[in-house]
């Protein structure tokens, strides 16, 4: 702020801090709670994430990015719960690209969580012409073609889920490779 005001004294600069606005509950991730005080719903979700063998991440495109609601939910859990498993990306949008730009960002996001995305992705352009409001496919939609399209990503996910499940039971990755749980600087180069 001081630098901006010095550089542009004739301009008005205002700091807007998201913490000053009640836009939702304060963020507190699962791993930040004392174990006995973790909210039940959050703990149930943590157990679901930990016990899954793979994930299908479904998101609309918002400003060329993934859904803030999905990112917010995923951010509540440490990467050790997601890692050494595959994920598949499914995006949709009202426009012609079907959430492709959000999907590219999701690849980075999911890689950081350790649930590596498979190469095939699903994009649904003009989602309002494919699905009814309740999520069921509209009548004139070619179900077989959609099934074929979806299958590629889902079969890749299935293959990787089976493979990583076998390898996780042969060699526990959390024993073989340290989880970083103390500080982000644990990842730093020497």
Ligand X SMILES: Cc1cc2nc3c(=O)[nH]c(=O)nc-3n(C[C@H](O)[C@H](O)[C@H](O)COP(=O)(O)O)c2cc1C
What whole-number distance in Å separates Cα of residue 99 and Cα of residue 63?
10
Cα dihedral 160/162/166/167 (nearest 10): 10
| CA-wise closest residue to 107 among 93, 124, 126, 87 | 87
Burial 2-27 (b: 16+ CB within 10 A, else e): eeeeeeeeeeeeeeeeeeeeeeeeee
Cα gap 94→122, rounded to integer Å = 15
Min CB(64)–ligand X separation in Å: 5
C-beta of 94 vs 141, nearer to ligand X: 94
38 vs 70 by CB, closer to ligand X: 70
Q: How far is the CB of 133 from ligand X (least distance, A)?
A: 9
- Give contact residues for ligand X (rule: CB under 6 A): 60-64, 93-95, 97, 127
Question: Nearer Cβ to ligand X, position 38 or 56?
Answer: 56
Cβ 96 to ligand X shortest distance, Å: 8
- Residue among 97 and 149 whose Cβ is closer to ligand X: 97
What whole-number distance in Å separates Cα of residue 107 and Cα of residue 151?
19
* Least distance between ligand X and beta carbon 72 (Å): 13
Q: Residue 62 Cβ, how far from ligand X at the closest point, in Å?
A: 4
Compare residues 129 and 172 and give the one whose CB is closer to ligand X: 129
CA-atom Rg of the chain in angstroms = 21
């Amino acid at each position: 702020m001081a630098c901006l005001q010095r550089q542009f004294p004739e301009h008005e600069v205002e700091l807007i801090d998201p913490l000053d606005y009640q836009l939702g509950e304060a963020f507190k991730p699962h791993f930040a709670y004392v174990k006995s005080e973790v909210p039940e719903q959050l703990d149930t979700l943590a157990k679901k994430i930990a016990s899954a063998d793979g994930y299908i991440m479904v998101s609309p495109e918002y400003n060329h990015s993934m859904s803030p609601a999905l990112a917010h939910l995923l951010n509540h859990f440490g990467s050790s719960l997601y890692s050494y498993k595959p994920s598949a990306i499914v995006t949709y949008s009202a426009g012609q690209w079907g959430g492709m730009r959000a999907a590219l960002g999701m690849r980075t996001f999911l890689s950081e969580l350790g649930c590596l995305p498979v190469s095939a992705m699903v994009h649904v352009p003009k989602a309002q012409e494919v699905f009814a409001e309740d999520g069921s496919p509209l009548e004139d939609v070619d179900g077989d073609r959609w099934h074929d399209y979806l299958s590629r990503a889902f079969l890749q996910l299935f293959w990787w889920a089976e493979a990583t499940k076998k390898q996780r039971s042969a060699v526990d990755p959390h024993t073989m490779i340290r989880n970083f749980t103390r500080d982000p600087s644990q990842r730093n180069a020497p």
